[in-house]
Amino acid sequence: MRVAPPTTTPDGTIKDCRRFTGSLSSVTTARRFVAEALVHVPKPLLEAVELMVSELASNCVMHAEAEFEVCIVRSAGALRVEVTDSGSGEPVLKHPDANDLRGRGLVIVKELADDWGVVRRAGQRGKMVWFAVRGT
């Protein structure tokens, strides 16, 4: 896990990023990083954010087994979390019925976030999945 100090842009946005290895334990560590960085956020919202981070980190480790980076972007009243990996796995929003055991991670992000999306860069492996919540 590499640690760099948070950066602040001229518009007051604070960006705080950490890198994690592709190991299973990184799913827990990524969640703890977010929980500690957002200790001021109201508990119901923080619980939702921790859950979404756990789902996205799980996807990185399960499908890509790649290093991943979690960035917390804070501006007035809003919070955005970006989870980036360099793996070749593709995020798929599935519509599992009650008999399916897998494929619920992105469903949870879609339902709990105010907004979310996937960003790919042309010619590069990997992708960034982000979500945003208001009321922080």
Partner 1 sequence: MDELEGEQTTNLEAAQVSVDQWQEESGAIVVRISGEVDMSNADILRETIDPIAASDVRHLIFDLGGLEFIDSSGLTVLLAAAQKIPQVQLRDPSAIVRRIVEVTGLAEVLPTEP
Residues that bind partner 1 (CB under 8 A): 1, 3, 5, 18, 24-25, 27-29, 31-33, 36, 44, 47-48, 50-51, 54-55, 58, 61-62, 96-99, 101-102, 104-105, 107-108, 111-112
Residue (1 or 92) nearer to partner 1, CB: 1
Smallest distance, partner 1 to C-beta of residue 27, A? 5
Phi/psi at 68 (5° precision) = -140, 165
Residue (13 or 21) nearer to partner 1, CB: 21
Closest CA to 15 of 130, 119, 122, 135: 130
Smallest distance, partner 1 to C-beta of residue 38, A? 12
Task: Collapse the DSSP code of 112 into the 3-class scheme (helix H, G, I; strand E, B; otherwise coil) and give the result.
Answer: helix
Smallest distance, partner 1 to C-beta of residue 122, A? 30
Residue (43 or 76) nearer to partner 1, CB: 43
Task: Collapse the DSSP code of 37 into the 3-class scheme (helix H, G, I; strand E, B; otherwise coil) and give the result.
Answer: helix
Closest CA to 57 of 2, 120, 65: 65
Residue (44 or 123) nearer to partner 1, CB: 44
Q: For the purposes of burial, counting CB atoms within 10 Å of the CB of 13, is it exposed (0-12), middle (13-18) or buried (19 or more)? A: middle
